[in-house]
């Protein structure tokens, strides 16, 4: 286990009783204080992995250490450090916000601490709703209550299993803000998502899981730098049938039935290299001029995590 790991996952395997292999030799260190996004399509094994880490599902092989505590042989010590916001909304209807959150704290054998419950409710904008029964709350408020319940026993690590699945865009942004504030208060966050945009927006690091295998773990920024490409698109006055030989040394492709030229260049550069990019683009424009190719306008874009993800998954198939 590296010294920064707040959770060490070592060679986890999970075969469900029917024989389905849901996790294959998964190893992963979670760093204290980070937001780690576990990204993968439905059925990839996200819920299984966090259920094993939280000690709710037994692994077939491997082990998990939470702050150095084995989550099977030292279950209580491991579990009390963890808060879990489950994927499914629960169906308690008639209890109040205050009671359900206080009850969650009691489950961990922690002494009553109304001041802590108040802090949690205020931080999630639930204070005004504390006397409301759950049935009277909107979907978004119910999700906040689930987070409050998970935080009631003061965990250092919070798992959010698909916190924004099926919620509208506005609520999703709201939830992202809540998660950021939690991280700023020192909580380590592990969230699962099948929304690439969510991982791109939130994560410090991203793990991609596919068919029970962790196929990639990387700093988000490094991932975007390493695999990202910048593109310059030139919309031409007259269409071309081929890229002229005099331009062959530039990385050019025709698009839009010959009406556009796309120039790709590496985004995996430091700022110091930007002068190089500028020089290369200036060279390209001069060569275009010399070849008598004129353009109406141009624009640049940088590839998104979505494109990176799609190309990665393709590469590995
Ligand atoms: N209790 C179970 N018994 C058998 N198979 C299961 C069980 N729970 C999940 N699975 C299967 O394991 C795979 C991974 O499921 P899950 O971890 O829920 O994926 P995700 O959360 O990424 O959508 C799926 O194919 C699912 O059908
Ligand atoms: Mg799931």
Instruction: Decide: 20 in ligand 1 pocket, CB within 6 A.
Output: yes
pLDDT in tens, 146-170: 999 999 999 999 999 998 887 777 7
Note the pLDDT of residue 162. Answer: 92
CATH number listed for the domain at residues 228-315: 3.30.70
- Domain 5-225 grouped into CATH 3.30.420.40: no
Residue 1: the pLDDT is 46
Distance of CA 144 to the CA centre of its chain: 19
Q: Identify which has the larger pLDDT, 317 or 46.
A: 46
Residue 267 pLDDT: 56
Between 171 and 69, the higher pLDDT residue: 69
Which part of the chain is CATH 3.30.70?
Answer: 228-315
**What residue ranges of the chain are covered by domains with CATH 3.40.50.300?**
5-225
* HEC-encoded secondary structure of the chain: CCCCEEEEEEEEEEECCCCCEEEEEEEEEEECCCEEEEECCCCCCHHHHHHHHCCCCCCCEEEEEECCEECCCCHHHHHHCEEEECCCCCCCCCCEHHHHHHHHHHHCCCCCCHHHHHHHHHHCCCHHHCCCEHHHCCHHHHHHHHHHHHHCCCCCEEEEECCCCCCCHHHHHHHHHHHHHHHHCCCEEEEEECCHHHHHHHCCEEEEEECCEEEEEEEHHHHHHHHCEEEEEEEECCCCCCCCHHHCCCCEEEEHHHCEEEEEEECCCCHHHHHHHHHHHHHHHHHHHHCCCCEEEEEEEECCHHHHHHHHHHHCC
Rank 25-29, 87-91, 264-268, 298-302 by mean pLDDT and report only the highest: 25-29
Q: What is the mean pLDDT of the chain?
A: 88
pLDDT tens per residue across span 191-228? 999 888 888 889 999 999 989 999 889 998 887 766 66
The 10s digit of each residue's pLDDT in 222-265 is 877 666 667 888 999 999 999 999 898 888 999 999 999 998 87
- The reported pLDDT for the residue numbered 311 is 67
Q: Is residue 286 scored above 50 in pLDDT?
A: yes
* pLDDT above 60 for 175: yes
What is the position in ligand 1's atom list of the atom closest to the CA of 161? Answer: 21
Residue 215's pLDDT is 87
CA-nearest residue for atom 18, ligand 1, is 47
Q: Ligand 1, closest atom to CA 194?
A: 22
Core vs surface per residue 6-29: b (16+ CB within 10 A) or e: bbbbbebbbeeeeeeebbbebebb
Ligand 1 pocket test target in 12, 14, 16, 162 with most atoms within 8 Å of CB: 16
């Amino acid at each position: 286990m590296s010294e920064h790991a707040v959770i060490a996952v070592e060679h986890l395997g999970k075969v469900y009783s029917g024989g389905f292999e849901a996790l294959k030799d998964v190893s992963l260190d979670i760093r204290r204080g980070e937001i780690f996004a576990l990204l993968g399509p439905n059925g990839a094994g996200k819920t299984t992995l966090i259920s094993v880490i939280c000690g709710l599902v037994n692994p077939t092989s491997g082990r998990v250490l939470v702050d150095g505590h084995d989550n099977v042989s030292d279950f209580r010590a491991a579990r009390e450090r963890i808060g879990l916001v489950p994927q499914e909304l629960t169906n308690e209807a008639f209890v109040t916000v205050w009671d359900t959150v206080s009850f969650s704290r009691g489950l961990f054998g922690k002494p009553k601490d109304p001041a802590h419950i108040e802090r949690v409710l205020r931080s999630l904008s639930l204070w005004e709703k504390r006397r409301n029964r759950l049935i009277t709350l909107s979907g978004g408020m119910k999700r906040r209550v689930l987070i409050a319940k998970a935080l009631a026993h003061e965990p250092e690590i919070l798992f959010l299993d698909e916190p924004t699945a099926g919620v509208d865009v506005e609520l999703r942004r709201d939830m992202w803000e809540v998660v950021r504030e939690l991280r700023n208060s020192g909580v380590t966050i592990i969230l699962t998502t099948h929304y690439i945009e969510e991982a791109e927006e939130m994560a410090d690091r991203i793990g991609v899981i596919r068919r029970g295998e962790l196929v990639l773990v990387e700093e988000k920024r490094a991932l975007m730098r390493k695999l990202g490409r910048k593109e310059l698109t030139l919309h031409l006055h007259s269409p071309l049938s081929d890229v002229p030989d005099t331009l062959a040394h530039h990385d050019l492709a025709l698009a839009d039935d010959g009406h556009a030229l796309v120039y790709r260049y590496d985004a995996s550069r430091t700022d110091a290299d930007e002068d190089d990019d500028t020089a290369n683009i200036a060279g390209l424009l001069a060569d275009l001029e010399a070849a008598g190719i004129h353009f109406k306008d141009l624009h640049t874009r940088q590839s998104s995590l979505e494109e990176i993800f799609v190309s990665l998954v393709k590469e590995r198939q």
